[in-house]
């Protein structure tokens, strides 16, 4: 019996909430509407302020993090082992570049930067040639 009463009560609540004729906003007094508007406006202002502060905090945090990372990098560069590792890295890079140059020279191939230089020179020569052809034609 108790379950049938609760089912009926639940079904009555559902139909009452679905009924478009009964809406709280229709019965709410004007002073309540004004209060709700003021509260909404104030909440929007607070939200805007919060967004601004959040952005400022994000920027400041990023700057502090970058400054801390820079300080750590500077301190690490002072460590003899890391200084030596950087020296070795530059030496290895030079040796690799020299080895690649030797391979290209033995294979009689041009490197990409050399090809680009040649392309630029060819483009310049083509422009000069077309200018000379226009002069002779005139």
Domain that holds residue 47: 22-78
91 found inside a domain: no
Q: Is residue 10 part of a domain?
A: no
The number of domains in the chain is 1
* Total-model pTM: 0.40
What is the Cα 28 distance to its own chain's centre? 47
Q: Where are the alpha helices (DSSP H) in the chain?
A: 2-18, 24-27, 30-78, 80-107, 112-137
Average confidence score pLDDT of the chain = 84
| Residue 39 domain flag | yes
Residue 8 lies in a domain: no
Residue range 42-48: mean pLDDT, rounded: 94
Domain assignment of residue 48, yes or no: yes
Each as own residue / partner, the long-range contacts of residues 88-91 (CB below 8 Å, 24 or more positions apart, any chain) are: none
Residue 30 lies in a domain: yes
43 domain residue, yes or no:
yes
Q: Which tens digits make up the pLDDT trace of 6-29?
A: 444 444 444 444 555 666 666 777
């Amino acid at each position: 019996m108790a379950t049938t009463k609760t089912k009926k009560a639940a079904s009555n609540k559902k139909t009452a909430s679905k009924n478009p004729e009964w809406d709280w906003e229709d019965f709410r007094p004007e002073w309540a509407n004004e209060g709700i508007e003021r509260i909404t406006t104030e909440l929007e202002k607070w939200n805007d302020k919060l967004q601004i502060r959040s952005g400022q905090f994000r920027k400041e945090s990023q700057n502090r993090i970058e400054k801390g990372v820079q300080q750590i990098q500077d301190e690490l560069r002072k460590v003899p082992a890391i200084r030596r590792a950087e020296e070795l890295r530059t030496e290895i890079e030079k040796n690799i570049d020299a080895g690649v140059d030797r391979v290209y020279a033995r294979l009689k191939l041009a490197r990409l930067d050399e090809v680009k230089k040649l392309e630029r020179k060819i483009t310049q020569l083509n422009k000069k040639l077309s200018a000379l052809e226009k002069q002779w034609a005139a």
